[in-house]
Chain A
Amino acid sequence: MQKYIIRRILQAIPILLGVSIIIFALTQAMPGDPLSHMMDPNITKEDLESAREKLGLNDPKYVQYFRWLGELLSGNLGFSTKYSKPVGDLIKERIGPTFTLSLLALTIALVFAIPIGVYSATKQYSKWDNLFTVFAFAGISIPVFFLALVLIWLFALQLQWFPSGGLTTPGVTYEFPKNIFNMLYHLVLPSMTLALLYMASFMRYTRSSMLEVIRQDYIRTARAKGLSEKVVIYKHALRNALIPVITILGLSLPGMFSGALVTETIFSLPGMGTLSYNAVVQRDYPILMATNLMFAIWTIVGNLLADIFYALVDPRIRYD
């Protein structure tokens, strides 16, 4: 087991390097170089050339790549000219809202999706199962931004129950713990949007995984022992059915980040998604590269954790 975990971690390293190479290649493909944005137009060609030389922009590409990688590893993510701040600081400010939103949405989604998935599997093709199936199809087919707009229209504009955007009420500062409640209140609609989206797929995964498990021999054995249906389903079947869902959770991370980007943009939440989006609009490339890198690293680490967790809880699979 220990061997497997170590091997799995080692496997992640070339992927991380590959990610960094792609991001570096994208930086190189960008129009202009750092100097073309900063210098005044009256500068002479010779001065520009010496500045390029000094910054190492004339070095071979691979030298520049390793220099950049070295900076990254020492924690330097670059400097944003638009915000006049190190990119690392900006990301630190923005991580909070994105994680709160994602975790909130994911929790809501799982709390509903797992029981519904179990119910659908135990009552396959029943009226409710069919209804949930239709709901799941709708959920994977609706564009997040359209869902968000409908929710804003209904709950923010018509009923006026929740705010239509932002993370805090503008112009008011609350003391602890009121500020937390104010933030949660602002996060209701965005997290509902994302939760509905995640729910659709997790419901389906739980259902199919559950259907697979309840056909297994050990479930028949459990029933034959005279255990109640409740114990069979929730104790014996569900435990095993949830294992593949963990992997799916890891695999859905990139999709979840994409969803968060759109949701944050529509609800103008100050998270990583809006940071990337504004960076695109303002052509702030250092930020863009850093956010791409962060999202990719989170995805890789998320998948790594999911795999390791899978190996820990499923003794049927031998990894050697």
Chain B
Amino acid sequence: MRNKPNDMRSEEILKKNKNKTTDKELKTQQIMSPGRIFWIRFRRNKLAITGTIVLLILASLSIMAPWIAPHDPNTTNVRYREKPPSAEHPLGTDTLGRDVLSRLLYGGRISMTVGVVAVAISLSIGILLGSLAGYYRGWVDTVIMRFTDIVISFPFLVIAITIAAILGPNFRNTVIIIGLLSWTGTARLVRGEFLSIRERDYVEAAHAIGAGEGRIIFRHILPNAMAPIIVSATLGMASAVLMEAYLSFLGLGVQQPIPSWGNMLVAAESLKALQYQWWLWVPPGTAIFITVLSINLVGDGLRDALDPRLKD
């Protein structure tokens, strides 16, 4: 959190001074932890707070799906197909007579799991390649960055459906494909941070006392590059949820009968469903939209709070 605590302190002091600050208060402010400074900044952003709350609600609904879902998501009922919402089925039933609300809740588990795991994969690759390139520079940097340029040149969906066709579309491959294709932004970001942080005095000091390269990379440089990494991981999670939805909507991601928000929307490909059966496509579409929107709002709030340099 280089030199951020300082300007934060004066900012806070100025604010507090308006309501008369005692010396004691000033002293406590001077030792504010980075976490506390972050929280003070973050909570000022109403949109980010709203996003956090909505996201927490959606996440807990998904986690609790087995207990709160009114029906089993996979039980079909041929005599009760495509029925509009009722007390028994609050969001109606789909073409196989399955309860849409239950599938929506279970679909959330799938979509969010894909998001979290895919981001974990892309972060690991991005951080590893980015720090190697930024720390060692020279030919290591050239090779890694050219490779990044190559991967970035492929439009995500086109290459993703190609790989899905080769590997076979399923839940595991969806996660792998998204993870393997979305690390490039993180790698470039981490490289940039490393290039600047490696020149700092404390890194030189670490060299001087004989710290090993692994220690310098992971204990001295990486923690100081964490702020932008956290922000990019959050925004990456938003796009991973979207990518899963795209792939599953195209039939090349998570496959039936496992419910995912993307594959539930396939129902709307028939104009009949689109026109007369809103409960088949509006709920999953809205769920994706609200989830991605909340994550983006949180990510934006994190950026403002963690890394004010990046602000507009």
Contact = CB atoms under 8 A, between A and B. Distances in A.
Interface of A: 14-15, 18-19, 22, 26, 29-31, 134, 137-138, 140-146, 149-150, 152-153, 157, 164, 207-208, 211, 253-255, 257-258, 261-262, 265-266, 273, 276-277, 280-281, 283, 288-289, 291-292, 295-296, 299-300
Contacts of B274: 149, 152-153, 157
Interface stretch (B74-82, B119-127, B155-163, B218-226): B155-163
A143 B157 CA distance: 13
Given A19-B153, A254-B156, A257-B157, 6 more contacts: A164-B271, A254-B155, A262-B249, A280-B164, A289-B162, A295-B158
B164 A258 contact: no
B251 to A, nearest CB: 8
Contacts, number: 130
A26 B271 CA distance: 36
A134 B269 CA distance: 29
B55 interface: no
10 contacts: A18-B146, A26-B162, A30-B166, A145-B245, A146-B281, A157-B271, A207-B312, A257-B155, A288-B162, A289-B162
B34 interface: no
Contacts of B271: 157, 164
B150 A22 contact: yes
B146 A295 contact: no
Contacts of A19: 150, 153-154
Contacts of B292: 141-143
Q: Among the interface residues B161, B164, B251, B275, which one has the most CB atoms of the partner chain A within 10 A? A: B161
Contacts of A280: 161-162, 164-165, 252
A142 B287 CA distance: 10
A255 B156 contact: yes
Interface string B155-181: 111110111111000000000000000
B91 interface: no
A31 B268 contact: no
Contacts of A292: 154, 158-159, 162
Contacts of A300: 153
Contacts of B161: 276-277, 280
Interface string B224-245: 0000000000000010001001
B159 A143 contact: no
Given A137-B296, A280-B164, A18 B156 contact: no
B288 interface: yes
A277 to B, nearest CB: 7
Q: What does DSSP make chain B's interface, helix, strand, loop or mixed? A: helix
A261 B157 contact: yes
A257 B157 CA distance: 8
Given A29-B166, A295-B154, A146 B250 contact: no
Interface in B247-296: 249-252, 262, 265, 268-269, 271, 274-275, 281, 285, 288-289, 292-293, 296
A283 B312 CA distance: 45
Contacts of A277: 161, 250
A104 B22 CA distance: 62
A265 B250 contact: yes
B285 A276 contact: no
A31 to B, nearest CB: 7
B297 A262 contact: no
B154 A254 contact: yes
B11 interface: no
B239 to A, nearest CB: 9
Given A211-B312, A276-B161, A280-B252, A18 B150 contact: yes
Q: Among the interface residues A31, A145, A157, A257, which one has the most CB atoms of the partner chain B within 10 A? A: A145
Given A153-B274, A157-B275, A143 B154 contact: no
Contacts of A145: 245-246, 249, 265
Given A15-B149, A149-B281, A157-B271, A295 B165 contact: no
Contact of A299 (B153, B238, B289, B297): B153
A257 B159 CA distance: 11
Contacts of B262: 143
B259 to A, nearest CB: 16
A139 B223 CA distance: 33
A295 B155 contact: yes
B147 interface: yes
Interface string B136-160: 0000000000110110111111110
A300 B153 CA distance: 6
Given A14-B146, A291-B158, A296 B153 contact: yes
5 closest pairs, A vs B, by CB? A18-B150, A257-B155, A146-B285, A258-B157, A141-B293
Contacts of A134: 47
Nearest to B291: A141
B156 A258 contact: yes
A141 B296 CA distance: 7
B265 A258 contact: no
